[in-house]
Amino acid sequence: MRMLQVLFRQLAYRDLRLHRHRDHGSGPTGVVIEIPVLLGADSATAPPLEPSPGPPPHQPAPLPRPRRRPARPDRDGVGAAEPSAHPAGDPAGTADPDHHVFVEPLAVGPTGPARSRRRPVVCAIVVAALLVVLAVRFRGDAVSRLSGVPAPRWHWLAACACCTALFYVANGLSMRAASGLRVELRTVTGVQVAAAATNRIIPAGLGAIAIHLRFLEKRGMTRPAALAAIASIKAAGAITHLAGIVIVAGTLSGSGIGEAVVSPVRSTLDGIGTGPVLVGCVVVCALVTGTVAHPRVRAMARPAVRAFRAHVSVLAHSPGRTTVLLLSQAGTRLFQILALACTVWAFGASMSVMSVATVYLVGSMVAGAAPTAGGVGALEPALAFGLAAAGGDAAAMLAVVLVYRVISFWLPIVPGIVALAGLRRSGNL
């Protein structure tokens, strides 16, 4: 019996020494790899290689007691306490001695948050460098073209900013009327500003739809009902936009604004060619038809269609909500038109509100077909060409459109990010 005990102890020590020579230590990267200690043995308490007198035959051979490792300094330089030799709930140390324990987790390289903080900084530096290069490259051309543009009058620019703020308030009223929820106007206005900031990144208005959907679901609405409310807002906006075009049709017929707005699109289509344009239209129609006719898509869309019908029925039986919805959507168009008109007047151009309304309604409808976020790259030339056709100077109208887009499109990004963070903290998103 004694010889068997000694043999097992020597085998355990040889296996432990082999593991230490092969795996224990630090590699070239400085990463310390800890091997689980088998049978609680330690290098300092290794059994002798030669047999030694053991205990009497009727007593088992005691295992060597593990020695506590000294505390290792952590990243802050403070010593981190090693785990106790005895697990919690077992003060007497009667746990299984063959239990494998990793003293420290494997730490490789820098942590994730540090990397994630570096990426936005690198992206910001790259974008800033590109903007500086573009500004230096085209500075002379821009100065030569805009040298004859008068300085803007700042009170009209402040009026443009106020009209932009009222635009978001009107959108908040539309959200409250379409959903039927009793929500504070401040909250729904903040949702519109946050949705606008998100919409600057994701094209086709999908960012705003996602924010609105999340907000309505947080308020207790089901997803089909929330989608129906958002669809009713889009439908009311389309109705008021078409009604505005009908109202300004008399001004549109004899001014040449429509031709000036559509001419960039027409020239682009002529440059591509009739054949590729027809092929692209056929492919898009085939994809849309195949998607709508697919049984799985129809099965997924059926609850949303039923919810939309029920929502339209509720609006039809609630003339007050319907009136508020239509008037607020008409107000969004009106405030955008007034913001553009204030920018035009800020640069000293004498142009009627009806002409500005015609340019905006036609230009935004044409630019709505662009797949970019917020119509960037499509709305600017449409408005510039339309305002020039309405009687404004070409260089001055280009400056008008750029300033208008900065105030109404780009500046709300900062309050939108703040509103998004506040809504997430309050649990509304």
Q: Give tens-digit pLDDT for 237-273.
A: 999 999 998 888 777 666 667 676 767 667 766 777 7
Q: Average pLDDT for residues 397-425, to the nearest whole number?
A: 91
Number of Cα atoms under 13 Å in the Cβ half of residue 116: 3
Say yes or no: 180 and 311 in one domain. Answer: yes
Q: Average pLDDT for residues 103-124, to the nearest whole number?
A: 54
Percent of the chain topping pLDDT 70: 62
Is 301 inside any structural domain? yes
Domain boundary among 20, 40, 66: 66
Per-residue pLDDT, 188: 93
**pLDDT over threshold 80, residue 209:** yes
Per-residue pLDDT, 63: 54
Q: Average pLDDT for residues 107-125, to the nearest whole number?
A: 58
Task: Give the chain's domain count.
Answer: 2
Per-residue pLDDT, 308: 84
Say yes or no: 212 and 315 in one domain. Answer: yes
Q: Average pLDDT for residues 121-126, to the nearest whole number?
A: 72
| Number of Cβ within a 10 Å radius of residue 62 | 8
Say yes or no: 254 and 391 in one domain. Answer: yes
Is 86 inside any structural domain? no
Instruction: Note down the domain range covering 11.
Output: 2-66
Say yes or no: 55 and 200 in one domain. Answer: no
Say yes or no: 168 and 40 in one domain. Answer: no
Q: Which band of pLDDT confidence, cut at 50, 70 and 90, is reported for residue 157?
A: very high
Is 372 inside any structural domain? yes
Say yes or no: 159 and 52 in one domain. Answer: no
Per-residue pLDDT, 390: 85
Per-residue pLDDT, 143: 63
Most confident range (mean pLDDT) of 42-46, 125-129, 323-327, 386-390 is 323-327
Percent of the chain topping pLDDT 90: 26
Domain boundary among 49, 66, 83: 66
Say which residues have a Cβ less than 8 Å from residue 383's Cβ, sequence separation at least 6. Answer: 340, 359, 360, 363, 397, 401, 404
- The burial class, CB within 10 Å (0-12 / 13-18 / 19+), for 162 is middle
Q: What is the spatial distance between Cα 289 and Cα 257, in angstroms, rounded to a whole number?
A: 35
Please name the residue that has the structure tokens 């932009």: 164
Say yes or no: 165 and 285 in one domain. Answer: yes
Q: Average pLDDT for residues 151-162, to the nearest whole number?
A: 92
Looking at the DSSP assignment, which residues form a beta bridge with residue 47?
A: none
Is 115 inside any structural domain? no
Number of Cα atoms under 13 Å in the Cβ half of residue 135: 6
Say yes or no: 180 and 41 in one domain. Answer: no
Is 81 inside any structural domain? no
Is 183 inside any structural domain? yes
Q: What is the spatial distance between Cα 251 and Cα 255, in angstroms, rounded to a whole number?
A: 6
**Per-residue pLDDT tens over the stretch 68-96:** 555 554 444 444 444 444 444 444 445 55
Reported pTM: 0.64
**pLDDT over threshold 50, residue 278:** yes
**Per-residue pLDDT tens over the stretch 28-60:** 444 444 444 444 444 444 445 455 555 555 555
Is 246 inside any structural domain? yes
DSSP E strands: which ranges in 72-121? 72-73, 79-80
Is 187 inside any structural domain? yes
Say yes or no: 255 and 399 in one domain. Answer: yes
Per-residue pLDDT, 32: 44
Q: Average pLDDT for residues 300-319, to the nearest whole number?
A: 85
Domain boundary among 40, 66, 92: 66
Per-residue pLDDT, 104: 42
